[in-house]
Amino acid sequence: MAARQSARVLVVEDETALAKALAEGLHHDGFAVETVEDGLLAWDRLLHRTYDLILLDLMLPGLGGLPLCARLRDTGVATPVLVLTARSAEHDQLRAFDTGADDFLAKPFSYQVLLARVRALIRRTTKADARVLTAGDLVLDRGSRSCRRDGTDIELTPREFALLEALMVRAGQVVTRRAALDEVWDFALDEESKVLDVYIGYLRRKVDLPFSRHAVQTVRGVGYRLDADGG
């Protein structure tokens, strides 16, 4: 599946050969690609242009990848950042995520794996910005804060709406317990809390059972998933 022609990727990488290979590969797969080899130059570029994704090396001249990512987040730039680095230790990954990175890929990596990550991040962002989310006949309108299934309005509490929204944004993907709790309850609950399970039960009774559907699925030991076709 080719990427959207309008999807713009900035590759921030000081290894010239790698930057060139990434640019050529992504261009071939339908992306508009620009490259820059210096962190300060990347910062200037990002102040004046908009991108759908940033591929960011950590070891850069001028300004390192992590400080650059921190600057972007501090100034409100929410463009997804996929970190590419030879550092593969867990604490390096945690530092990247804590600074605001969205994904992490250790060098050397397969181009096909990189491409899958790029497409997933852009798809997630595109869907996250959509006003209306759909999964089969299940429709969630974020503008009017309304929900309906098979043409029938469904009344949801604010917390139920937020949980269903988190599942629908990632329809077809597993949403871990930790991710759901962080997003819907703003880090206030422990991962073992049963509150999430209770609210999943509420959702099933409202959006699935009355319509003989099974869209809200349990992935044992991991979290939950909403069937992309609505169950």
Residue with tokens 């999430």: 196
Could you tell me the CA-to-CA distances from 213 to 145, 152, 172, 209 in Å, in that order? Answer: 22, 14, 15, 6
Q: What's the pLDDT score for residue 127?
A: 65
Contacts of 52 (CB under 8 A, 6+ apart): 6, 7, 8, 9, 79, 80, 122, 125
Reading the block at residue 55, the tokens are: 């591929």
Reading the block at residue 46, the tokens are: 């990002």
Question: What is the chain written as a DSSP string?
Answer: -PPPTT-EEEEE-S-HHHHHHHHHHHHHTT-EEEEES-HHHHHHHHHH---SEEEEESS-SSS-HHHHHHHHHHTT----EEEEES---HHHHHHHHHHT-SEEEESS--HHHHHHHHHHHHHHHHHHT-SEEEETTEEEETTTTEEEETTEEE---HHHHHHHHHHHHTTTSEEEHHHHHHHHHTT-S-TT-SHHHHHHHHHIIIIIGGGT---EEEETTTEEEE-TT--
What is the overall mean pLDDT for the chain?
A: 87
Categorise residue 124: left if φ over 0, alpha if ψ from -120 to 50, beta otherwise: alpha
Q: What's the pLDDT score for residue 179?
A: 81
pLDDT digits (tens, 9 = 90+) for 19-76: 999 999 999 888 999 999 999 999 998 888 888 899 999 999 999 999 999 998 888 7
Confidence of residue 91 (pLDDT cuts 50, 70, 90): confident
Reading the block at residue 13, the tokens are: 């990488």
pLDDT at 209 over 90: yes
Q: What is the mean pLDDT of residues 191-197?
A: 86
- The amino acid at 160: E
pLDDT at 215 over 60: yes
Q: Which residues pair with 220 in a beta bridge?
A: none
Q: What is the mean pLDDT of residues 133-158?
A: 92
- Cis check for the bond before 61: say yes or no (omega within 30 of 0): no
Cα Rg, the chain, nearest whole Å: 20
pLDDT digits (tens, 9 = 90+) for 5-18: 458 899 999 999 99
Residue predicted with more confidence, 169 or 204: 204
Closest residue by Cα to residue 154 from 199, 228, 211: 211
pLDDT digits (tens, 9 = 90+) for 112-142: 999 988 988 887 776 666 788 899 999 999 8
- The amino acid at 57: D
pLDDT at 2 over 50: no
pLDDT at 1 over 50: no
Percentage of the chain exceeding pLDDT 70: 92
Give the global pTM. Answer: 0.56
